[in-house]
Amino acid sequence: MSESHTGQGFATEAAGRVMAFGFGFLGLHKMWAAAMTSNPASAKVIEKLGMKQEGMFREHVLKWDRFEDLVYYDMLKSEYEALLSPHYEHSI
């Protein structure tokens, strides 16, 4: 993505639609995501969706000759549905 498109919410909107498809159409019980600690923008998108951090795998992936920590997030279908309820002020 070019710099002219960063910070406009495109990644959050796309990821939200993937979650809607997974929980809605596919009927998944749980969805998860992962982000490298060296990429806080990815973590921010995941957290905006309402996913909660489950844990970190230290030096879990090798990227450009360097081992990177990987943080895992998840959300259950019941948590997703609670976010969509009219009583909850935030929407995905």
pLDDT (tens digit per residue) in 5-59:
565 678 899 999 999 999 999 999 999 999 999 999 999 999 999 999 999 999 9
With H, G, I as helix, E, B as strand and everything else as coil, classify residue 1.
coil
Which structural domain, as residue segments, surrounds residue 77?
3-84
Does residue 89 form part of some domain? Answer: no
Q: Domain holding 30: CATH number?
A: 3.40.630.30
Q: Which residue has the tokens 């749980």?
A: 30
Q: Are 33 and 73 in contact (CB under 8 A)?
A: yes
Does residue 21 form part of some domain? Answer: yes
How much is the pLDDT for 85? 77
CA-to-CA distance for 40 and 90, rounded, in angstroms? 22
Q: Are 35 and 43 in contact (CB under 8 A)?
A: yes
What total number of domains does the chain contain?
A: 1
How much is the pLDDT for 18? 95
Does residue 91 form part of some domain? Answer: no
Does residue 22 form part of some domain? Answer: yes
- Top pLDDT among 86 and 47 is at 47
Q: Please report, in angstroms and rounded to a whole number, the separation of the first and last CA atoms in the chain.
A: 22
With H, G, I as helix, E, B as strand and everything else as coil, classify residue 12.
helix
